[in-house]
Amino acid sequence: MISIRDLRFTLRGKTLIHPLSFSVRQGEVLGLIGPNGSGKSTLLRLMAGIATPDQGEVLLAGEPVKAMSREAVARQIAFVAQQVDTHDRIYVRDAVELGRTPWLSMSNPWTDKDDRIVEQAMQQLNIEHLSDRTWQTLSGGERQRVHIARVLAQQPQILILDEPTNHLDIQSQLAILQLITNLNTTVIVALHDLNQAAQCDRLLMMQSGRLVDIGAPEHVLSPENIRTVFGVNMYRIDDAALPRPVLHFF
Amino acid sequence: MIQLLLSRVNTMLPGLYPVIFSALVILLAAVSLALSIGESPIPLSTVYKTLANKLLGANYLVDTIDAGILWEYRLSRAVIALCCGAALAVSGVVLQSLLRNVLVDPYILGISAGASAGAVAVAIVGVGAGALSMSAGAFAGALLAFALVMLLSRMTGQVILAGIAGAQLFHALSALMIAKSADAEAARGIMFWLLGNLSGVRWENAWLAAPATLVGLLVALYYARALDAFTFGEESAQSLGISVVRVRLILIFVTAMLTAVMVSMVGSIGFVGLVIPHAARYLVGIRHRRLIPAAALLGAVFLVIADLISRIVISGQVLPIGVVTALIGAPAFALILIQGAKNR
């Protein structure tokens, strides 16, 4: 449903994304992995239509994103960048309401339906009790939940998240990850923790702006790939007591 | 029915009604005082009678000199003060939201200084050979200053310092142009363009100030939702469907227009655009459909009162209004900085 065709991105003479093509299937969770500076964030920004490629295109259900209005794109793709913050004393409820922006206009004002959608999103993230709290009083995990509630209120078909578990404690990390993998939307998510990435439906591995491999986690997370891309060795621990194998790096 | 409608608006805009209502009452009181107080005090009863005669066609007997002072001088001055306060406050709200920086306003960013220099270039140096109005010159100066400041800020990542540099440069240019004109009134002129003054404004100015303020206010309100979307930054706004470049261009154009129109009439007045948005945010929160009208009203009240103070604080002399706004604004600015440091 979202396809990348021959996409390339150059910034100040430096190619950050070398031409690459792939498609994301409807309803799948696609994890992006790769070392720092491998181009994960840039690729996500290109897919969200925030950055403009200098070659190739992003297609949404066959239609090039660059031919669509910003509003039309925002009704289909929602994006949470890394470490999005504000100095404004915004209330949690107001922050989630921002998600309705692409659906509203002078002729389509706020209605009870929008209230319901916002409340549902807050319920899904379990943040109704934070409704009247201001942004500055929230913990990192709570802020990330608010961001995700906001993009859910946007009712997109595709959710793009850049390292949503970064800087969170382990409990919040697991909660956010579980939530993402259980959503009924297509999700494209950059992740640092490879054991967490293994929970995605498919993985896309990047190195220096190039696509190294794409496929099922057990295929992409091979000792050879890990050695080539991350420069470390990997050992796979299979234990019947665990829901999935654990990857050990050394 | 009306009750239902009002309650619906109230649930949409909680906290706004009391603020708007109180600000309107205070504004009316301030304007009444501004009309009554001055070199020749005029009783409030005469003020209301004159207004009733002029506006409602009543036939109260009032002294014609008093009526003349009220209508020709004081009322036009009060109308311009309130338009100017509203326009600068709304410009401040818009710029602070667009640039994601609570310490900017048209004055800090050098837009006012650019407008001053543009107006001086037209009025004193004669740029445009009479074909350009002072407002047009101010507008060109405002846009030029803003473009320069933004360029410097992009290159250095320091928006405030870039603004200070721009403001100093354009203020110096204004002073240079006035000094070179070798006019006996030069020094007074410099004071006017650097610190603002409402003496000398007439109804013809109000006929420009009022529509400009109204248009600016309506455009800002139209983009209230887009401004909200900037809360989490430019990329967030973009991913919420906002055409960031277009919205920025339109709103920067509007703030430059508002600032230019005001500066061409009253000189550059600082601190209104900086401090009033903070006060308004404190009272009604950060959503722009509430913040913009609240800031406009508070700005209007603030400047009418500041002008009143500037006229009465030294008897027989009119203090530049910028002195009054700075005396109130600078400590308020310090408080904002301290509060900001505490929150960090």
Q: How many residues does the structure list for chain B?
A: 344
Please tell me if residue A48 touches chain B, with a CB cutoff of 8 Å: yes
Q: Position B83: which residue type? A: C
Q: Are B239 and A50 inside 8 Å of each other by CB?
A: yes
pLDDT single digits (tens) B168-196: 999 999 888 888 876 666 666 666 777 78
Q: Are B286 and A94 inside 8 Å of each other by CB?
A: yes
Distance CA A126, CA A131 (A): 10
CB B147 within 8 A of CB B161: no
Q: Are A75 and B231 inside 8 Å of each other by CB?
A: no
Distance CA A201, CA B35 (A): 73
Q: Which domains are assigned to chain B?
A: 15-336 (1.10.3470.10)
- CA angle in degrees (0–180, nearest 5) for B235-A156-A193: 70
Q: What secondary structure letter does DSSP report for B197? A: -
CB A34 within 8 A of CB A40: yes
Residue A235 belongs to some domain of the structure: no
Please tell me if residue A87 touches chain B, with a CB cutoff of 8 Å: yes
pLDDT in tens, chain B (344 residues): 555 555 555 555 556 777 788 888 999 999 999 999 988 889 999 999 999 998 888 888 888 898 999 998 899 999 999 999 999 999 999 999 998 888 888 988 899 999 989 988 888 777 777 777 888 888 889 999 989 998 998 888 888 899 999 999 999 998 888 888 766 666 666 667 777 888 878 898 899 999 999 999 999 999 999 999 999 998 999 999 999 999 999 998 899 889 988 988 888 898 999 999 999 998 888 999 999 999 999 999 999 999 999 988 887 777 889 899 999 888 988 887 787 777 65
Please tell me if residue A45 touches chain B, with a CB cutoff of 8 Å: yes
Please tell me if residue A77 touches chain B, with a CB cutoff of 8 Å: yes
Distance CA A163, CA A161 (A): 6
**A118 vs B contacts (CB less than 8 Å):** none
CB A70 within 8 A of CB A241: no
Nearest CA in chain B to A110: B12
Q: Which two tokens stand for residue A244?
A: 């999935």
Q: Which residues contact B173 (CB under 8 A, 6 or more apart)?
A: B117, B120
Strand A202-207 with A210-215, pairing = antiparallel
Which residue from A59, A31, A17, A56 is spatially nearest to A195, judged by alpha carbons? A31
Please tell me if residue A95 touches chain B, with a CB cutoff of 8 Å: yes
Nearest CA in chain B to A95: B231
Write the residue in B102, B241, B287 that is nearest to A102 by C-beta: B241
Residue A249 belongs to some domain of the structure: no
Chain A residues 57-76 with a CB less than 8 Å from chain B: 69-75
Cα distances from A48 to residues A1, A2, B227, B239, in angstroms, run 14, 10, 20, 7
Distance CA B303, CA B266 (A): 12
Cα distances from B149 to residues B113, B142, B153, B271, in angstroms, run 11, 11, 6, 18
Residue A75 belongs to some domain of the structure: yes
Residue A228 belongs to some domain of the structure: no
Write the residue in A81, A89, A147 that is nearest to B286 by C-beta: A89
Query: Residue A164 maps to which CATH number?
Result: 3.40.50.300
Q: What secondary structure letter does DSSP report for A79? A: E
Distance CA B89, CA B277 (A): 6
Q: Position B80: which residue type? A: I
Distance CA A124, CA A119 (A): 9
Q: Which residues contact A118 (CB under 8 A, 6 or more apart)?
A: A93, A96, A97, A99, A100, A153
- CA angle in degrees (0–180, nearest 5) for B175-B181-B185: 75
Residue A230 belongs to some domain of the structure: no
Sign of the alpha-carbon dihedral angle for B306, B74, B268, B247: positive
Q: Which residues contact B4 (CB under 8 A, 6 or more apart)?
A: none
**B8 vs A contacts (CB less than 8 Å):** none
Instruction: Domain count for chain A, please give it.
Output: 1
Which residue from A177, A152, A155 is spatially nearest to A166, judged by alpha carbons? A177
ipTM value for the complex: 0.90
Count of Cβ atoms closer than 10 Å to residue B55 Cβ: 9
B60 phi and psi angles, rounded to 5 deg: -70, 150
Instruction: Identify the helix (H) or strand (E) that includes residue A16.
Output: strand A14-24
Q: Which residues contact B296 (CB under 8 A, 6 or more apart)?
A: B86, B89, B90, B213, B217
Q: What secondary structure letter does DSSP report for A26? A: T
Minimum distance, in Å, between the CA of residue B57 and any CA atom of chain A = 39
Task: Give the global pTM.
Answer: 0.88
Nearest CA in chain A to B245: A70
Please tell me if residue A88 touches chain B, with a CB cutoff of 8 Å: yes
Minimum distance, in Å, between the CA of residue B342 and any CA atom of chain A = 12
Minimum distance, in Å, between the CA of residue A71 and any CA atom of chain B = 4
Which residue from B247, B242, B267 is spatially nearest to B319, judged by alpha carbons? B267
pLDDT in tens, chain A (250 residues): 899 999 999 988 899 999 999 999 999 999 999 999 999 999 999 999 899 999 999 999 889 998 999 999 999 999 999 878 898 889 999 999 999 999 998 888 899 999 999 999 999 888 999 999 999 999 888 999 999 999 999 999 999 999 988 878 888 888 888 888 888 899 999 999 999 999 999 999 999 999 999 999 999 999 999 999 998 988 888 888 888 888 888 8
Residue A90 belongs to some domain of the structure: yes
Which residue from B135, B191, B142, B156 is spatially nearest to B318, judged by alpha carbons? B191
Domain containing A172 equals 2-221
Cα distances from A68 to residues A44, A76, A77, in angstroms, run 18, 11, 12
